[in-house]
Amino acid sequence: MTFVSYEFIGFMGAALAIYYGCRQRFRVAVLFAASAVLLWLSGGPESVAAYGFSAVTVWAGALGIESSRKRAAVIYWCIFTLNLALLALFQYVNFFGYTMKEIHWLMGTEWEWEPVSLIAPVAVSFYTLTLTGYLTEVYWGALPAEKSLMRLGLFGGFFPQMAMGPIARYDRLAPSLFAGSAFDKENLFQGFSRILWGLFEKLVISERLAMIVNTVYGDYQTYTGSFLVFGAVCFAFRLYTDFAGAIDIASGCARMFGVKLEENFRQPFYSRTVAEFWRRWHITLGGWFKDFLMYPMLKTGGFQSLGAWGKKRFGKKQGKKIPVIGALLIVWFLLGLWHGGKWTFIIGSGLYHGILMSLALAAEPAAKKFYKNTGIRQDHPLWILFQRARTFVLVGAGFVLFRSDSLEMAWGIFSNMFSGDMGLFSGEGIRSAGLLPADLAVLAAAMAVLWLVSYKKEHGGEDAFNRSFTQIRILALLSAVLIFGWYGKGYDPSAFIYAQF
Amino acid sequence: MTRQEVFTRLDEVFQDVFDNEEIHVSDETTAEDIEDWDSLEHISLIVAVENAFGIKFGMGQVTRMKNVGEMADIILEKLG
């Protein structure tokens, strides 16, 4: 059951009625039961069993760590490894096959194989990070272990955030999650508004963009040049409106229960550098890898020695970047791998970005010299616009890989982009790109609204934007979703892209 | 070591790590206030502070320190 279904609306209505209809002390149990039921309905008993296993091992492990500091390291590493191994089993069972296929393509030979069909438990990539993050913080002594299995189970499996994040941190989520908030009209109104905005992003914008992307990428030998560039631009916005839309719906649902989820996006397309982009896109995933992998790794003796060697070899300023670059490449390899065991993910949403950031870091002195010699003002609006466009192009190129089924397809798309075909700019061309003229007009108008909202958030902040929902605007948004949204009989909105991870 | 002495020593460490003699830290100083203090520089700074005071921060402290005031509190606690 996805967020975009009549069943989910019914489920939310029932859950809200029971939540606010029962006594405050039972409300946490209601959320727990609702989450368990939804997990069962979405992923069947196997998903419930897999999540239950992870939650119980992490709950027991954390209590064990707290009660016996002597054995803490053994307990921690056993439970941590066990959970990661489960994730690996489901997500990377075909990794070897995909790797061999890519190697054979690079060598110009054929590799025939059948991927193993193993259905992963719902949300395994997300809850594994949520739970192991909690376990790590208990191990570090930064958090007390949660005594209640129900509360811990709810923390990792709270239904609005379980399937696609944001990836929760215990100390930030627990206060509102376990409060059993009293009925508050403001929470319902704000939550509902946020859900509507998410539905607008998903059903009005993302689904239309998907038609263009699927048409162009589905036949990239025919649709070349301008079509593929247009397809790449559309996919960047498609991915954003799909994922940010899902997060807005999740945050809105949580808010209706009085629970505050973390923000996962902060107007990423305003970024002037790739590093800034990743501080604004899927923020909670980046935060997890930074706190639980990058920082601990950089503090190890090995990386410290690498830094000392670097300083001797390249001077203090540049030398200390050597371990950071090493860590960046490892972290981004794993970030890409987290999306799945395909090299299009490992490179497209991982290594490629790590390399871009490493290059930017190494080139800092050259950049400073460039600004000094050319006299370019870094705060000049035109320069800022150029930097944002450059960042969009760089990140969009990574998304092409992310969207491709294989490196061969990505290579095909990139090379066909330069065919010189300008067909898109003819009436017939634009009509053949997957959308009717009326839908293109709706898409253009909806994108203008998206830009306006992003502009308001960027310059006024998320809270100011949330407060700006008035009844009239809500009505307009609701009408837009109902009239222009793609849903209903005969049309199945595509699954959320991030629900596959 | 007094709190004032900790801050004097922290000033020296920050100036050295970020190569800027004009940096002076206070209780409220955060990464927002120092241009080069980002996630990539954070561990360099932490290790430099550890070496300067002969202490070790826990990983939980490394990831959760909100400002230099909290850093100074932890240093004083560890030295005490």
* ipTM of the shown complex: 0.90
Query: Which stretches of A320-363 are DSSP H helices?
Result: 321-338, 343-346, 352-362
CB contact under 8 A, A142 and B64: yes
Nearest residue of B to residue A324, measured between CA atoms: B40
How many Cβ contacts (< 8 angstroms) between chains A and B? 38
The pLDDT assigned to A489 comes to 57
Q: Which fold has domain B3-79?
A: 1.10.1200
Dihedral of alpha carbons A306, A308, A314, A315, sign = positive
CB contact under 8 A, B43 and A298: yes
The pLDDT assigned to A219 comes to 87
Radius of gyration of chain A (CA): 24
CA distance A64 to A135: 11
Which amino acid appears at position A388 of this protein? R
Which among A324, A361, A368 is the top mutation candidate for probing chain B, defined by the most B β-carbons within 10 Å of its own β-carbon? A324
CB contact under 8 A, B62 and A137: no
CB contact under 8 A, A295 and B42: yes
Number of C-beta neighbours around residue A425 at 10 A = 9
Which among A143, A298, A332 is the top mutation candidate for probing chain B, defined by the most B β-carbons within 10 Å of its own β-carbon? A298
For residues A355 and A404, the answer to whether their CB atoms sit within 8 Å is no
CA distance B70 to A468: 36
| Neighbouring residues of B16: CB distance < 8 A, sequence distance ≥ 6 | B48
CB contact under 8 A, B60 and A295: no
CA distance A321 to A317: 7
Going from the C-alpha of A87 to that of each of A126, A132, A331, A344, the distances in angstroms are 10, 11, 17, 19
The pLDDT assigned to A493 comes to 65
Contacts of A299 in chain B (CB under 8 A): 43, 46-47, 59, 62
Angle at A203 between CA A168 and CA A257, to 5 degrees: 40
| CA-wise closest residue to A333 among A360, A362, A297, A363 | A297
The pLDDT assigned to A383 comes to 95
Instruction: Please state the domain extents for chain B.
Output: 3-79
Nearest to A361 among B40, B58, B63 (CB): B40
Nearest to B40 among A142, A291, A324 (CB): A324
Number of C-beta neighbours around residue A85 at 10 A = 9
User: Taking the model in full, what pTM does it have?
Assistant: 0.91
| Neighbouring residues of A86: CB distance < 8 A, sequence distance ≥ 6 | A50, A53, A54, A124, A128
CB contact under 8 A, A142 and B60: yes
Q: Please identify among residues 15-74 of chain B the ones whose CB lies closer than 8 Å to any CB of chain A.
A: 19, 39-40, 42-44, 46-47, 58-64
Q: Both tokens of residue A99?
A: 């790797």
How close A306 comes to chain B (CA, Å)? 12
A143 touches chain B (CB under 8 A): yes
CB contact under 8 A, B39 and A299: no
For residues A448 and A175, the answer to whether their CB atoms sit within 8 Å is no
- The stretches in chain A having pLDDT less than 50 are none
CA distance A170 to A284: 13
Nearest residue of A to residue B56, measured between CA atoms: A299
Dihedral of alpha carbons A156, A158, A159, A162, sign = negative
| Neighbouring residues of A493: CB distance < 8 A, sequence distance ≥ 6 | A2, A4, A202, A203, A207, A486, A487
How do residues B24-80 score in pLDDT, each as one tens digit?
Answer: 999 999 988 888 888 888 998 999 999 999 999 999 999 988 899 999 999 999 987
Angle at A294 between CA A293 and CA A296, to 5 degrees: 70
Which residue, chain included where needed, has tokens 């010189």? A420
Which among A76, A276, A291 is the top mutation candidate for probing chain B, defined by the most B β-carbons within 10 Å of its own β-carbon? A291
How close A320 comes to chain B (CA, Å)? 8
Transcribe A169-222 into DSSP letters.
-HHHHHHHHTS-PPP-HHHHHHHHHHHHHHHIIIIIIIHHHHHHHHHHHHTTTT
The pLDDT assigned to A421 comes to 82
Nearest residue of A to residue B44, measured between CA atoms: A320
The pLDDT assigned to A490 comes to 59
CA distance A97 to A372: 50
Which residue, chain included where needed, has tokens 């809270």? A463
